Amino acid sequence: MSFSILSTGRALPKTVLTNEELCSFVDTTDEWIRSRTGIGQRHICMEESLTDLAAEAARRAMASAGVGAGDLDLILCATISSDYITPSHAGTVQEAIGASCPAFDVSAACPGFLFALDVADGYFARGRAKRILVIAAEAMSRLMDWRDRSTCVLFGDGAGAVVLGPGEGLRSLSIRTQGRTNVLYVPAARGNLPGRAQGPESYAVMDGQEVFKFAVTAMCRGLRGSIRDAGLSEADIDWVLPHQANMRIIEFAMSKMKIPPERFLINIERLANTSAACIPILLDESREQGKLKKGDLLAMCAFGAGLTSASAVIRWEID
Ligand code: ACO
């Protein structure tokens, strides 16, 4: 027995930062960002904590499933940008929503949501849970060096959540890590012990072209592998939910896969790359727009720092 998705939810910060607004303090242009990435704007946490966002997404998903805080057996949060190093983001969300079940984080960068689903799968397989809340929430704007124009224009903030219950919705899921630190990393805080060299400032450092090369391969291999593992062919897939890192990466996947481009769900123009939150936000938006029908087969794929990648096929079980 594995799981089915019972409900979804999302939350975005109020502040929208358009490319034009970004140009007032970053040496870039709307034309460069749109043509190289497909991004037009992003939401940025100015007033909200990440816990605020994640708890809002969680409450929406729980209300939609008719699940109360006391019904939850486990809370998993995928994030690399939480409010605290410790306690975990899952812990601060647990407090905010008034739950009391075990709660912990999964750190796997952009594919973190799919890594968290893999952890959840194990709990269902062992009969350890009936209701699991999985949240992916990121305030990537906090990790940016806003003087680094090749990185800061790419990301946005947001949160998505799902409530899972026992079921047969999960058809295949695979996670991968290829230890390559120098391609994309954020140095950790070091404390202030007198006499010890202080660490670098804690900003994301990225070799964009290396990530790009990794991403295009990871995206196609991941999707194909998960579709095959599910015993399906590309023609069976109703919707693809690709990681929203760069429209050119998505277009590359569209050109290589035997799945019509209109079946790829996309919101990168409005939201940019919200890291682990991309896929659950996309799920909730697509559900709200009435695109997802019960029985639809969804193929998902994401890649990120690590280098990590993950892919899954899930049958949509919600009416
Ligand atoms: N505005 C204007 N010019 C810019 C900007 C900008 N924002 N950023 C870079 N440039 C310039 C560069 O300085 C360079 O100028 P030069 O030729 O005079 O030196 C020129 O544009 C070309 O730069 P490239 O790096 O070659 O641009 P590229 O086409 O490779 O696009 C990008 C860069 C968008 C970063 C691309 O490589 C990319 O999307 N990579 C993948 C990144 C990604 O997906 N990251 C998320 C990983 S997920 C996670 O876990 C967080």
pLDDT tens digits, one per residue of 115-144: 999 999 999 999 999 999 999 999 999 999
Distance CA 242, CA 56 (A): 24
Distance CA 59, CA 11 (A): 10
Q: In the structure, what pLDDT confidence band is assigned to residue 197 with cuts at 50, 70 and 90?
A: confident
Query: What is each CA distance from 81 to 51, 245, 268, in whole angstroms?
Result: 11, 17, 20
Q: Integer distance in angstroms from the first to the last C-alpha of the chain?
A: 21
Catalytic residues: 110, 243, 273
Distance (angstroms) between ligand 1 centre and the Cα of 208 equals 6
The angle at the Cα of 174, spanning 79 to 312, to the nearest 5 degrees, equals: 80
**Least confident residue range of 46-60, 146-160, 161-175, 187-201:** 187-201
The verdict on the CB of residue 252 being under 6 Å from ligand 1 is no
311: left (phi over 0), alpha (psi -120 to 50) or beta: beta
pLDDT for residue 190 is more than 90: no
The verdict on the CB of residue 28 being under 6 Å from ligand 1 is yes
Distance CA 298, CA 264 (A): 10
Mean pLDDT across 62-83: 98
Lookup result for tokens 């670098």: 200
Instruction: Determine whether 289 is exposed, middle or buried from the number of CB atoms within 10 Å of its CB (0-12, 13-18, 19+).
Output: exposed
The verdict on the CB of residue 308 being under 6 Å from ligand 1 is no
Predicted pLDDT at 1: 72
Predicted pLDDT at 200: 77
Contact assessment for residue 246 and residue 154, using Cβ atoms and an 8 Å cutoff: yes
Lookup result for tokens 């295009």: 216
What percent of the chain stands above pLDDT 70? 100
Query: What is each CA distance from 6 to 79, 120, 163, in whole angstroms?
Result: 22, 14, 5
pLDDT for residue 189 is more than 90: no
Distance CA 216, CA 222 (A): 10
Distance (angstroms) between ligand 1 centre and the Cα of 15 equals 24
Mean pLDDT across 140-151: 96
Predicted pLDDT at 126: 96
| Whole-number average pLDDT of the chain | 97
Q: What proportions of the chain, in percent to the nearest 5, are helix, strand and coil?
A: 40, 25, 35
What percent of the chain stands above pLDDT 90? 95
CA-nearest residue, atom 20 of ligand 1: 150
Distance (angstroms) between ligand 1 centre and the Cα of 55 equals 33
pLDDT for residue 199 is more than 90: no
Instruction: Determine whether 86 is exposed, middle or buried from the number of CB atoms within 10 Å of its CB (0-12, 13-18, 19+).
Output: exposed
CA-nearest residue, atom 2 of ligand 1: 28
Q: Give CA 276 to chain center in angstroms.
A: 2
**H/E element holding 178?**
strand 170-180
Predicted pLDDT at 133: 98
Tens of pLDDT, residues 242-268: 999 999 999 999 999 999 999 999 999
Contact assessment for residue 91 and residue 51, using Cβ atoms and an 8 Å cutoff: no
